[in-house]
């Protein structure tokens, strides 16, 4: 059996709540802003549920039709689905894996752009990140007012802490770029990126 994708994890988690058809699942994911965590498209969700059914992790329980709408098949999670979901979550929670996000890659290659331009671009990123951070904080306030148990939004708390840390770090980097504290003209620096000692140093960096 193939490893559960992020969308499959979300689908199984929804079906643990109660039986539903894929369109209802899609609506719930949009309402709960699950697109912060997984890429949500109706077509890919239908394909995911169909694959889970072929794997025996969910099963169809019936179909319904409302007006002129197409028939919609309702699914429920199986015991195998519950076990697969628990196993996948345990692995993701307990073991660190490299996820290869794009921003660290951009930082690693930022020296290919002029320092002033990098600082300008990072300031633009900061503005967007601050807006997103306020949205997250506002969401937490609403959840608290509705007395939603914290266990259901610890991912939001994590996102807030990570955003705060990134903004704090960017403040310092932008100041150093603007002041010239970061040596940027690498052509004047006396080092050879193909030197074995340099390559070993980069490889051993955590």
Record the tokens describing residue 150, joined without a space.
């914290």
For 87-141, give the DSSP string: HHHHHHHHS------HHHHHHHTGGGS-HHHHHHHHHHHHHHHHHHHHHHHHHHH
Q: What is the pTM of this model?
A: 0.78
110: CB partners within 8 A, 6+ apart: 118
CATH code, 6-94? 1.10.10.10
Instruction: Identify the pLDDT of residue 58.
Output: 97
Give 10-residue mean pLDDT values along the chain (206 residues): 89 96 92 87 93 96 74 94 96 89 93 94 96 94 91 93 96 95 71 59 57
What's the pLDDT score for residue 201?
59
> Where along the chain do its domains lie?
6-94, 102-197
Residue 202: per-residue pLDDT: 57
pLDDT at 6: 93
Rounded distance between C-alpha atoms, residue 62 and residue 23, angstroms: 14
Cα dihedral: 36, 38, 41, 47 (round 10): -160
């Amino acid at each position: 059996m193939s490893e559960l994708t992020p969308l499959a994890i979300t689908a199984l988690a929804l079906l643990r709540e109660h039986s539903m058809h894929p369109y209802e699942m899609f609506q719930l994911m949009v309402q709960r802003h699950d697109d912060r965590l997984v890429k949500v498209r109706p077509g890919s969700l239908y394909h995911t549920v169909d694959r889970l059914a072929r794997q025996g992790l969910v099963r169809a329980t019936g179909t319904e039709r409302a007006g002129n709408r197409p028939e919609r098949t309702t699914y429920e999670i199986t015991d195998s689905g519950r076990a697969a979901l628990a196993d996948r979550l345990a692995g993701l929670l307990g073991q660190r894996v490299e996820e290869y996000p794009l921003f660290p890659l951009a930082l690693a290659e930022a020296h290919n752009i002029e320092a002033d331009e990098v600082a300008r671009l990072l300031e633009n990123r900061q503005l967007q990140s601050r807006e997103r951070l306020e949205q997250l904080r506002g969401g937490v306030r609403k959840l608290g007012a509705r007395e939603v148990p914290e266990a259901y939004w610890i991912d939001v708390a994590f996102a807030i802490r990570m955003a705060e840390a990134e903004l704090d770090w960017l403040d310092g980097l932008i100041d150093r770029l603007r002041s010239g504290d970061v040596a940027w003209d690498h052509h004047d620096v006396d080092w050879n990126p193909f030197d074995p000692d340099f390559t070993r140093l980069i490889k051993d960096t955590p």
